Chain A
Amino acid sequence: MAFPVAQRWLLAALILAGLASAVSSSIDPYFLDGVMGVGVSVVLASSLNLINGFTGQFSLGHAGFMAVGAYTSAMLSTVVAPRLGWNPLLLQWVFFPLSLIAAGLLAAVAGLAVGAPSLRLKGDYLAIVTLGFGEIIRVVLQNMDAVGGARGLTGVPAYSNLFWTFGTAALTVYTVWALLNSTHGRGFLAVADDEVAAEAMGLDTTRYKITAFGIGSFFAGVAGGLYAHLKGYLNPGGFSFDKSIEIVVMVILGGMGRHAGVVFAAILLTLLPEGLRELGSRSVPNPFGGAPWSLDWIKEMRMILYSLMLILLMLMRPQGLFHRSERRRRGA
């Protein structure tokens, strides 16, 4: 049993996140923003990994559930919080986590509402239905004047800090990991490996799929809440199909159904565009003398490079960057 060890890791990660947030005022804010974005990505990728990687379903609507959570917690912070008359510290350390949980719960409800009827469908069809729901959530948000409609929602207080982003990330990775190593968790893997065989063994496969979907959506909602209080501004366009794709790519790149790989991929893919942007503002010394070569072209090429890398990776390493062998190791 590896449980105690994993719990120690979780505790260590939480303490580290706490310490880091204590010194965060001395960190460059631009850098800090990027780092917290990484935490949000890890939550998103890990939770989608539970659905797409471990349970073998294919959801293309993760951004939609993230949007539900983001708007829920943002509304709580902008409408409910000011009426409480609490001091800011209390708001950030007590009210904010509660609003994150509320965000997660509402996203989970949305996830169950989508999952319960549609998980009977398989493969491509499930992908299409989740894609459709993601788009519907976006359009509905665009038309809701109460949440700012297409103009977006502004003035969300900046409650997200290193502790909340990384603490949540650690908690998400731990939860997914612990869940899969429980008796119940074997059911998810069985559904992914061979649904028919799992059913023949007496597993209620639909229940497992819906559970995975609900838990995955919960964390997507929490990630949305973190994102809202990190950016301070929400726009329905930010939760489009492209955002869902971004999360799916993290899961695929990390090797579907690998815990650490997906976390690495989330970190890599979040930092890569920022890194390329940074690289683009520098120049290399000219070996032939004369003016140094500007790397400015990288700035406008970075999305092209990103898509090229994605294609080449799929052609050369379709099992993902961090995939060793099949999932055998975990079983032992």
Chain B
Amino acid sequence: MTEFLQQLLNGVLLGAIYALIALGYTMVYGVLRFINFAHSDVFMLGAFVAWYSVEKLGLPTQSIGGGLAALLLSMSVCAVLGVVIEKLAYKPLRQRSTLTVLITAIGVSLLIQNVAQNSRLGFGPNPKAFPALFPSQQLHFGALTVSTHQLVVLGVALSLLGVLYWIVHHTRIGTAMRALSFNATAASLVGINNDRIISFTFGLGSALAGAGGVLYAMNYPSIDPLMGTLPGLKAFVAAVLGGIGNLPGAALGGLLIGLVETFVSGTRLSTFRDAIAFGILITILLFRPAGLLGKLKIEKV
């Protein structure tokens, strides 16, 4: 039973991180209808900014203030980066086919990875140890062991999900985002500045990815320039699983993928855990192509 609870906790933590990344994919898909492959690299950069802020800027480790500062710093850097990527690479392609934008996104992703792997321009190819940002301690609840870092991950992820919900549903800009994803032409007709909303969406999604990167690195404390690929793919799977373009769906999908992956890791099939996320995805797509919470659009001729 303790084993089960421990795994459940680990699964929820991993799921919360996947959910944060998946939300970025889903939001961008909602407004621009394309898969932003560079998202997983923004996630990687988030972890590196936090590492940098401790190793080079000298933010204190093992402190709540320092940890929060590093988190905020990497979220802001990632937000700016997301906006810049959108302006430079995707905006000139607004009228082009989705495929063109998709390939450009892959190009941007390759560019970030290769610059990061370059030891003169970036961080170099070798993995780096990620410092303990927050005070680390093991807490015992009965037989259950919880580290303070896990609590921080859970707390930060939940609060960010809450903030996102509030932004999307209770602010003007959030309303504009929903309008844009519902019908872009109609949105611009009622005076919504589409470009500004798209920028904002990219910034918001990238900030969440950055936070996801920091939280992920706190749990798996070794970071390298290619660390984003697999979590990125799985978060993307999570977004599709929940119904791409659907925010609660992305959160649900992330949680499911995180839980399944953690429980599979505990069994004999552990080496297959990367395949299982995709197996679930394919099964879901075949029986419910729009995802768990998505609505199927009827194609009109």
11 A-B contacts, Cβ less than 8 Å apart?
A: A124-B98, A135-B233, A135-B278, A136-B278, A136-B282, A304-B121, A310-B103, A310-B107, A311-B104, A314-B104, A318-B93
| CB-defined contacts of B282 to chain A, threshold 8 Å | 118, 129, 132-133, 136
Interface centre among B110, B115, B240 (most CB of A within 10 A): B110
B289 close to chain A: CB less than 8 A: yes
CA distance A127 to B33 in the complex (A): 14
Pair A310/B110 contact, Cβ less than 8 Å: yes
Pair B274/A135 contact, Cβ less than 8 Å: yes
B114 close to chain A: CB less than 8 A: yes
Pair B107/A307 contact, Cβ less than 8 Å: yes
Pair A303/B274 contact, Cβ less than 8 Å: no
Contact mask for chain B residues 220-237; partner A; CB cutoff 8 A; 1 contact, 0 none: 000000000100010011
Pair A142/B271 contact, Cβ less than 8 Å: yes
Stretch at the interface among A37-45, A77-85, A244-252: A244-252
Question: Given A121-B285, A136-B279, A140-B275, 15 more contacts at CB 8 Å?
Answer: A117-B286, A118-B286, A125-B289, A128-B237, A135-B274, A136-B278, A136-B282, A252-B103, A300-B118, A303-B117, A304-B114, A306-B110, A308-B111, A311-B107, A314-B104
Interface size on A, residues (CB 8 A): 39
B272 close to chain A: CB less than 8 A: yes
Contact mask for chain B residues 65-90; partner A; CB cutoff 8 A; 1 contact, 0 none: 00000000000000000000000010
Q: Which 3 A-B pairs have the closest CB atoms?
A: A132-B278, A139-B275, A307-B110
Q: Is the interface of A mostly helix, strand, loop or mixed?
A: helix
| CB-defined contacts of B301 to chain A, threshold 8 Å | 196
| CB-defined contacts of A306 to chain B, threshold 8 Å | 110, 114
B58 close to chain A: CB less than 8 A: no
B281 close to chain A: CB less than 8 A: yes
B247 close to chain A: CB less than 8 A: no
Interface centre among A117, A252, A304, A310 (most CB of B within 10 A): A304
A-B contact count (CB 8 A): 108
B92 close to chain A: CB less than 8 A: yes
CA distance A142 to B230 in the complex (A): 15
CB distance from B123 to the nearest CB of A (A): 14
| CB-defined contacts of A303 to chain B, threshold 8 Å | 110, 114, 117
Contact mask for chain A residues 294-321; partner B; CB cutoff 8 A; 1 contact, 0 none: 0000001101101110110011001000
Pair A300/B120 contact, Cβ less than 8 Å: yes
B188 close to chain A: CB less than 8 A: no
Pair B107/A314 contact, Cβ less than 8 Å: yes
CB distance from B113 to the nearest CB of A (A): 8
Pair A301/B104 contact, Cβ less than 8 Å: no
List A residues at the B interface (Cβ < 8 Å).
58, 117-118, 120-121, 123-125, 127-129, 131-133, 135-136, 139-140, 142-143, 196, 241, 245, 248-249, 252, 256, 300-301, 303-304, 306-308, 310-311, 314-315, 318
| Nearest neighbor of B237 in chain A, beta-carbon distance | A132
CB distance from A134 to the nearest CB of B (A): 9
| Nearest neighbor of B271 in chain A, beta-carbon distance | A143
Choose from A129, A143, A249, A252 the contact partner of B272 (Cβ within 8 Å): A143
CB distance from B11 to the nearest CB of A (A): 20
| CB-defined contacts of B281 to chain A, threshold 8 Å | 128-129, 132
B171 close to chain A: CB less than 8 A: no
B96 close to chain A: CB less than 8 A: yes
CB distance from B192 to the nearest CB of A (A): 25
List B residues at the A interface (Cβ < 8 Å).
34-35, 89, 92-93, 96-100, 102-104, 106-108, 110-111, 114-115, 117-121, 229, 233, 236-237, 240, 244, 271-272, 274-275, 278-279, 281-282, 285-286, 289, 299, 301
Q: Is the interface of B mostly helix, strand, loop or mixed?
A: helix
Pair A301/B118 contact, Cβ less than 8 Å: yes
CB distance from A136 to the nearest CB of B (A): 5
CA distance A254 to B229 in the complex (A): 27
Pair A307/B89 contact, Cβ less than 8 Å: no
| CB-defined contacts of B106 to chain A, threshold 8 Å | 245, 249, 310
CA distance A307 to B104 in the complex (A): 9
CA distance A143 to B285 in the complex (A): 25
| Nearest neighbor of A248 in chain B, beta-carbon distance | B103
| CB-defined contacts of B111 to chain A, threshold 8 Å | 304, 307-308, 311
CA distance A96 to B98 in the complex (A): 41
| CB-defined contacts of A140 to chain B, threshold 8 Å | 272, 275
CA distance A125 to B89 in the complex (A): 23
CB distance from B256 to the nearest CB of A (A): 15
Q: Assuming the A-B contacts A133-B278, A300-B118, are A139 and B107 also in contact, with contact meaning beta carbons closer than 8 angstroms in the complex?
A: no
CA distance A310 to B38 in the complex (A): 14
Pair B118/A318 contact, Cβ less than 8 Å: no
Pair B103/A249 contact, Cβ less than 8 Å: yes
Choose from B104, B229, B237, B271 the contact partner of A315 (Cβ within 8 Å): B104
CA distance A245 to B281 in the complex (A): 20
Pair A307/B103 contact, Cβ less than 8 Å: no
| CB-defined contacts of B272 to chain A, threshold 8 Å | 139-140, 143
